[in-house]
């Protein structure tokens, strides 16, 4: 187990370097960011040259990348164009997005798995058909439509919530945005759980458990669900990274100042430091989440062992 984790951690290094290099090159391809800082006029050449020097943009790309990576390992993620340290931006943005992700994941687990179990156990029933139709609708409607619609109905028409989230972004404010963010994945989790449950319901160990005379809820939770959760956990695990990085749309709609907002602004302003910094952290989150998922397999299914 320990050796397996170490091996996986070592594997992360080339992935990490490759991913940051790609992002770095992509942002650089967009061209010189200084030109956008001076409004509808040409930057005066002296100031532009000096700004380039200050941000290290006058050096060749490979050298910029090496300097950047060197700084990252000492914890210095550089400075955004508005003079703020990128670490400062991260400190304000990540807690918000993490809260949003937690809300979204909770929705996926609680609602998604519950609905999946119910429909899986009663295949072909009216509830099953109803939920299937509902998930089909949720999957086919883009997030920004769901988001704007809920915002308009709940926020403006009925006045249940505030249409935008305050800078503090407390958990209670993030319920609706979290639901919107989770909606598509939630539908997938429901369907995955449903299929998995329906398949395992007919398996030998379930029949044995029932024959032993175990109570129904014990059969379902201990035997059936535990074995059916493996694909679902894989999905949710990889979704953590996707939710954190993919919150751009939701964060924009509800004016949440999280990672999506910083990335969006960074891209618009072609701010290499912000974009690469945030994406680097997201890559790390993604890798760690994947590792955790793999380790969870062993917990769920004792037959799986890592050496």
CB-based burial label for 121 (10 Å; 0-12, 13-18, 19+): middle
Q: Which of 254, 281, 285, 287 binds another protein (CB under 8 A)?
A: 254
Q: Which of 225, 253, 282, 293 binds another protein (CB under 8 A)?
A: 253
Tell me the window of 61-69, 190-198, 214-222, 262-270 that interacts with another protein (CB under 8 A): 262-270
Phi-psi region of 84 (alpha: psi -120 to 50; beta: other; left: phi over 0): beta
- Between residues 42 and 126, which has the closer beta carbon with respect to another protein? 42
Dihedral of CA atoms 234, 193, 142, 127 in degrees, nearest 10, equals -170
C-alpha of 223 from chain center? 30
Instruction: Name 227's Cβ contacts closer than 8 Å, sequence gap at least 6.
Output: 200, 203, 205, 300, 301
- Between residues 35 and 292, which has the closer beta carbon with respect to another protein? 35
Q: Does 286 bind another protein (CB under 8 A)?
A: no
Q: Does 58 bind another protein (CB under 8 A)?
A: no
DSSP per position, 199-235: HHHTSHHHHHHHHTT--HHHIIIIIIIHHHHHHHHHH
- Between residues 90 and 242, which has the closer beta carbon with respect to another protein? 90
CB of 58 to another protein, least distance (A): 13
Tell me the window of 67-75, 122-130, 208-216, 245-253 that interacts with another protein (CB under 8 A): 245-253
State both tokens at 168.
Answer: 């503090």
Name residues contacting another protein, limited to 61-120 (CB under 8 A): 81-84, 88-89, 92
Q: How far apart are CA 299 and CA 287, in angstroms?
A: 19
Tell me the window of 131-139, 212-220, 264-272, 274-282 that interacts with another protein (CB under 8 A): 264-272
**What is the crossing angle of helices 114-121 and 126-140, to 10°?**
140
Q: Does 127 bind another protein (CB under 8 A)?
A: no
Name residues contacting another protein, limited to 183-242 (CB under 8 A): none
Calculate the alpha carbon distances from 14 to 11, 17, 62, 295 in Å: 6, 5, 17, 21
CB of 50 to another protein, least distance (A): 6
- Between residues 63 and 92, which has the closer beta carbon with respect to another protein? 92
Q: Does 252 bind another protein (CB under 8 A)?
A: yes
Q: Which of 257, 272, 280, 293 binds another protein (CB under 8 A)?
A: 257
Q: How far apart are CA 150 and CA 161, in angstroms?
A: 10
State both tokens at 125.
Answer: 């029933």
- Between residues 29 and 307, which has the closer beta carbon with respect to another protein? 29
- Between residues 177 and 237, which has the closer beta carbon with respect to another protein? 177
Q: Does 31 bind another protein (CB under 8 A)?
A: yes
- Between residues 56 and 300, which has the closer beta carbon with respect to another protein? 56
Sign for the CA dihedral angle at 120, 126, 129, 134 comes to: negative
Q: Which of 227, 269, 291, 300 binds another protein (CB under 8 A)?
A: 269
Q: How far apart are CA 238 and CA 208, in angstroms?
A: 34
Q: How far apart are CA 277 and CA 76, in angstroms?
A: 10
- Positions touching another protein (CB under 8 A) are 30-47, 49-51, 54, 81-84, 88-89, 92, 151-152, 155-156, 159-160, 162-164, 167, 251-255, 257, 261-262, 264-265, 267-270
């Amino acid at each position: 187990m320990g050796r397996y984790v170490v091996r996986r951690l070592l594997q992360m290094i080339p992935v990490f370097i490759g991913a940051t290099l790609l992002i770095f090159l992509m942002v650089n391809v967009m061209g010189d960011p200084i030109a956008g800082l001076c409004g509808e006029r040409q930057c005066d050449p002296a100031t532009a040259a000096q700004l380039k020097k200050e941000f290290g943009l006058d050096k060749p790309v490979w050298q910029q990348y090496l300097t950047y990576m060197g700084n990252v390992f000492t914890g210095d993620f550089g400075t955004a164009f508005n003079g703020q340290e990128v670490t400062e931006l991260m400190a304000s943005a990540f807690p918000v997005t993490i809260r949003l992700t937690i809300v979204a994941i909770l929705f996926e687990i609680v609602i998604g798995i519950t609905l999946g179990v119910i429909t899986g156990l009663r295949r072909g029933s009216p509830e099953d058909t109803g939920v299937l139709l509902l998930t089909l609708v949720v999957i086919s409607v883009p997030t920004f439509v769901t988001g704007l619609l809920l915002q308009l109905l709940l926020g403006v028409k009925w006045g249940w919530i505030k249409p935008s989230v305050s800078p503090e972004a407390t958990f209670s404010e993030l319920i609706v945005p979290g639901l919107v963010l989770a909606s598509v994945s939630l539908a997938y989790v429901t369907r995955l759980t449903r299929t998995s449950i329906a398949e395992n319901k007919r398996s030998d160990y379930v029949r044995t458990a029932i024959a032993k005379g175990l109570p129904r809820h014990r059969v379902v939770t201990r035997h059936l669900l535990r074995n059916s959760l493996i694909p679902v956990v894989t999905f949710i695990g990889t979704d953590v990274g996707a939710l954190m990085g993919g919150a751009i749309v939701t964060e924009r709609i509800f004016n949440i100042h999280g990672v999506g907002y910083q990335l969006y602004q960074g891209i618009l302003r072609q701010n290499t430091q912000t974009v690469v910094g945030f994406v680097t952290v997201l890559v790390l989150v993604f890798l760690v989440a994947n590792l955790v998922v793999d380790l969870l397999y062993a917990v769920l299914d004792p037959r799986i062992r890592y050496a």
